[in-house]
Amino acid sequence: MLEIRDLVVSYHGSRVLSDVNLRLEYGDSMAIIGESGAGKTTLGLAIMGFSEGTTSGQICWQGRDLLRLPEEDMRSLRGKVVAMVFQNVEDALNPVLNIHDQVKEAMTVHRNGPGHAASARAFGLLEAVGLDHERAKSFPHQLSGGERQRALIAMALANDPDILILDEPTASLDSVTKGDVIEILRAAASDKISLVITHDISTAASLSKKMAVLYAGTIVEMGRTEDLLKNPRHPYTRGLIRSYPNMTTTKDLQGIPGRMDREADGCPFHRRCTQRTDICSRLPPSMQETNGRLIACHRGGIVPLLKLRGITKSFGQREVLSNVSLTVLEGETLAVVGESGCGKTTLARITIGLCDPDRGDVLFEDETLRVRGLEFYRKVQMIYQNPAESLSHRMSVLDLVREPLDVQRLGGRQEREASVRKALDDVELPSDDRFLARYPHQLSGGEAQRVAIARAMVLQPKLLIADEPTSALDASIQAKILRLLQNLQEKRGLSMLFITHDLALARKVSDRIAVLHRGMLVEEGPASQVVSSPAHPYTRCLLEQAARLDATIGSPGVESSAGRGAAAQDRDRWIGAAAVNR
């Protein structure tokens, strides 16, 4: 069993790792992910006893503290008990020895057994990683990057170590080679303790059962790999996953604002965090466990910003919403999808307070809303479907964007005008005097909607309710506006309740999708899951109707006739029923 307790590593007085605690048993595979510079490699080197900085804490292996072990003893463990596959493929191999001899050397250093046995085992190991006899006799410069990586793996496995540390094992490999290497590593690591250090989340996911997220030398979140990737709870983890190109999530890539700052007081992530409060800059958070997940965050991970509980609303005899419950987390987009008349807009209006529910509660920042005051509207804003209607035609751009500030009585005249110009800059509109004096009828549809967005954003809200914000615009302008909203989300951690009828659109802009059908919530989940494996037949219908560019889909040849019939029946049942209802 390998146990790391309160490990601190610092170089020249600056901490590279602080208070790292890990416990790994045989068969455990742990991935350490994080941006470059997070201290991942330092952790691997510390376990190998290669750390050059000053260290404190303990790395315990079978009752011995590896950090305090004399170099002589450590050397006998290296390779034999702890082996590492290094990151830098070019320099890790000796250029004047062929790779077979290098693998054999790794063994003969530790075992004084017969040379020919070691030689045979070296060939066997190289064979196992996919390098045949002829390749095994090659020199490093004669091999491709992938082959050199395989040779390094064979070397690390030479003495059948107990602990295998893989530092970026698949960096700079093409995806096919990467797949092979991952297979080899998976087979090799199954009976060992393995630690995968990587910024490549997909490699980490396929090589580990547990995952730890390292940020500026601190572990910020740790848990089972599958849970952690599906439902990240720390804002940094979510940021990492959002910025990683993959085939699972459907939302557009988003970055994390700011740079990593090791010297920050309090929570290392607080300067880049969009949900920080006072305490975050003062005290480093401690690790808390909830449901098998460890999170170091003062706010207990990503906070739920808006909660709708059991919202029910009828207009006359017709029930428009029945028992709808939803949660919007800080900095995420929840898309509410459904055909027109399904109650989407009513849901938005109830949330913002333009209409009262018959039953149910709206909670904002964990407080039930009864009366919505100025304070609430400073944090929650809405953009409407049609800018021509939501902007008064009697007001100039300046008056329009300034109106929320006037209502809220924020700042003086000059400050308000400065805020207006900044808000216009943020939505990529001109902010000169000529544009400020324009009236809505002198703006194009896209410009008018941007003015409406600038007006909503001028108060810097935390939650933006967007009711079909782009349905009145053509596709290219729609794309720009959605990009803009996502940038605002990235920059400010804006949460969005995105109301749309368009599933194809929802999957690109939202983290989660909720499907509403005749006032009932029929499905809710991560956008990728709702789109790839819809659970409810109505969702399948919406998917079938969603926009596609390939002409063959939907023609009878593609599906079996039985499947086609079932799908058609489904569609009739769900779409047709809705039509009759209307």
Partner 1 sequence: MHVDLLGAVLRDPLGMTGSALLGLVTVMAILAPALSGYPPDLYTGQILSPPSAWHPLGTDSVGQDIWSRLLWGARTSLLVGAAVALISTSISVIIGTTTAIFGGLYERFWMRAVDAMLAIPPIIVMILVAAYLRPNLLVLILLLSALSWPGGARICRAQTLSLLERTHLSAAATFGAGWRHIIRRHILPDLTPIMLALTVGAARRAIFMEAGLSFLGVSDPTMVSWGKIMQQALQFTYLDVWRWWLVPTGLALSLTLVSLSLLGFALEGAMDPRLDGGQRHGDTRSSHA
List of residues contacting partner 1 (CB under 8 A): 349, 352-354, 372-374, 376-378, 380-382, 384, 386, 389-395, 403-404, 406-408, 439, 441-442, 452, 455, 459
Question: Could you tell me whether strands 82-85 and 163-167 are parallel, antiparallel, or unpaired per DSSP bridges?
Answer: parallel
Q: How far is the CB of 399 from partner 1 (least distance, A)?
A: 8
Token pair belonging to 395: 């007001």
Comparing CB distances to partner 1, the nearer of 190 and 444 is: 444
Q: Alpha-carbon distance 61 to 140, whole Å?
A: 34
Comparing CB distances to partner 1, the nearer of 407 and 553 is: 407
Token pair belonging to 361: 């509660």
Q: How far is the CB of 56 from partner 1 (least distance, A)?
A: 54
Comparing CB distances to partner 1, the nearer of 378 and 492 is: 378
Q: How far is the CB of 403 from partner 1 (least distance, A)?
A: 6
Q: Alpha-carbon distance 326 to 306, whole Å?
A: 8
Question: Could you tell me whether strands 512-517 and 359-364 are parallel, antiparallel, or unpaired per DSSP bridges?
Answer: unpaired
Comparing CB distances to partner 1, the nearer of 144 and 392 is: 392
Comparing CB distances to partner 1, the nearer of 46 and 382 is: 382
Comparing CB distances to partner 1, the nearer of 59 and 443 is: 443
Comparing CB distances to partner 1, the nearer of 246 and 442 is: 442
Backbone angles phi, psi at 526, to 5 degrees: -55, 140
Q: Where are the alpha helices (DSSP H) in 243-314?
A: none
Q: How far is the CB of 253 from partner 1 (least distance, A)?
A: 31
Comparing CB distances to partner 1, the nearer of 12 and 394 is: 394
Question: Cα–Cα–Cα angle for 301, 306, 308, nearest 5°?
Answer: 125
Strands (E), 94-253: 163-167, 193-198, 210-215, 218-224
Comparing CB distances to partner 1, the nearer of 95 and 373 is: 373
CB 42 within 8 A of CB 203: no
Token pair belonging to 96: 């004047």
Q: Alpha-carbon distance 185 to 168, whole Å?
A: 12
Q: Alpha-carbon distance 489 to 207, whole Å?
A: 32
Q: How far are the Cα atoms of 397, 401, 427, 438 from residue 393, in angstroms, in the given order? A: 10, 13, 20, 10
Q: How far is the CB of 277 from partner 1 (least distance, A)?
A: 23
**Which amino acid does the sequence have at 185?**
L
327 strand-pairing partners: 307
Q: How far is the CB of 406 from partner 1 (least distance, A)?
A: 8
Comparing CB distances to partner 1, the nearer of 223 and 461 is: 461
Q: How far is the CB of 266 from partner 1 (least distance, A)?
A: 33
Q: How far is the CB of 401 from partner 1 (least distance, A)?
A: 11
Q: How far is the CB of 582 from partner 1 (least distance, A)?
A: 21
Token pair belonging to 217: 């030398």
Q: For tokens 């146990």, what's the residue?
A: 3
**Contact residues for 377 (Cβ-Cβ < 8 A; gap 6+):** 404, 408, 459
Backbone angles phi, psi at 295, to 5 degrees: -135, 135
Q: How far is the CB of 195 from partner 1 (least distance, A)?
A: 52
**Contact residues for 57 (Cβ-Cβ < 8 A; gap 6+):** 4, 5, 6, 7, 8, 19, 20, 67
End-to-end Cα separation, the chain, in angstroms: 65
